Amino acid sequence: MTPIVETHDLWKTYPMDGTSVDALRGVNLTVKAGEFVALVGPSGSGKSTLLHLLGAMDTPTRGEVRLNGRSLAQMSDAGRTRLRCREIGFVFQTFNLLPMLSALENVEIALRLAGMPGQKRRARAAQLLESMGLDGRMRHLPRQLSGGERQRVAIARALANQPALLLADEPTGNLDSATGESIVALLRQLNSQGQTIVLVTHNAEVANQAERMLQMKDGQLQH
């Protein structure tokens, strides 16, 4: 299968109190189209740092990230912004929904940023929310939704532009166990439909639902 994401000798170093800390140390990773990969490890192991580099939200100190064969380092800032908008979907632990917008409007905003015209984007957003079982909750604000419903809105938003890659950073971290299980089941369903997913989690039960689990420690993938 074609690699969606590849990293080569990936390093990320942060200055700290007159010294430097290596958050990532020579990470080599390949994720193929249609895979569901879980990154696990203790806090500070580099999981979220790696996820941010895969999602073009940060740049490496050294090494390379390639998405669908294209080097992110060779893109302009505007090019990486377009890539994040159109080819990568993000799901966060804290949902990151805009509180003044309805569920429908929160999904629509991703489509608006990608340039989709109004009537078409409203129909697309509604279709996505219906597929998440939220057809009766579209006009509700985030504060009127449960945690599980908010995460489903966030997943719908992440899928709005049919991304090549879905990145999920602790997507069940703010949910009770039963709700978390339903979100993982949803991710498994999306993966069965062909969606490539990389998920970061502390939860071994969540990680075990992925097709492949990778352990991180001290900024390196353990083999």
Give the domains, in start order, of the chain with CATH numbers: 3-96+162-221 (3.40.50.300)
Q: What band does 2 get if pLDDT is binned at 50, 70 and 90?
A: confident
Indicate the average pLDDT of the chain. Answer: 93
pLDDT tens, position by position, 160-201: 999 999 999 999 999 999 999 999 999 999 999 999 999 999
CA separation for the pair 220, 223 (Å, rounded): 9
pLDDT of residue 1: 66
CA separation for the pair 31, 34 (Å, rounded): 9
Mean pLDDT of 210-219: 94
CA separation for the pair 129, 126 (Å, rounded): 5
Q: Which two tokens stand for residue 214?
A: 């990778």
Q: Which two tokens stand for residue 176?
A: 């009770």
Q: Which two tokens stand for residue 154?
A: 């966030």
pLDDT beyond 90 at 137: yes
Packing angle of the helix pair 147-159, 177-192 (nearest 10 deg): 20
pLDDT of residue 171: 93
- Beta bridge partners of residue 200, listed in sequence order: 39, 169
pLDDT tens, position by position, 26-52: 999 999 999 999 999 988 899 999 999
pLDDT tens, position by position, 58-76: 999 999 999 999 999 889 9
Greatest pairwise CA separation for the chain in angstroms: 54
Q: What band does 117 get if pLDDT is binned at 50, 70 and 90?
A: confident
Mean pLDDT of 115-141: 93
pLDDT of residue 18: 82
pLDDT of residue 43: 87
- 208 phi and psi angles, rounded to 5 deg: -70, -15
Mean pLDDT of 111-125: 90
If DSSP states are collapsed to H, E and C, what string results for the chain? CCEEEEEEEEEEEEEECCEEEEEEEEEEEEEECCCEEEEECCCCCCHHHHHHHHCCCCCCCEEEEEECCEEHHHCCHHHHHHHHHHHEEEEECCCCCCCCCCHHHHHHHHHHHCCCCHHHHHHHHHHHHHHCCCCCCCCCCHHHCCHHHHHHHHHHHHHCCCCCEEEEECCCCCCCHHHHHHHHHHHHHHHHCCCEEEEEECCHHHHCCCCEEEEEECCEECC
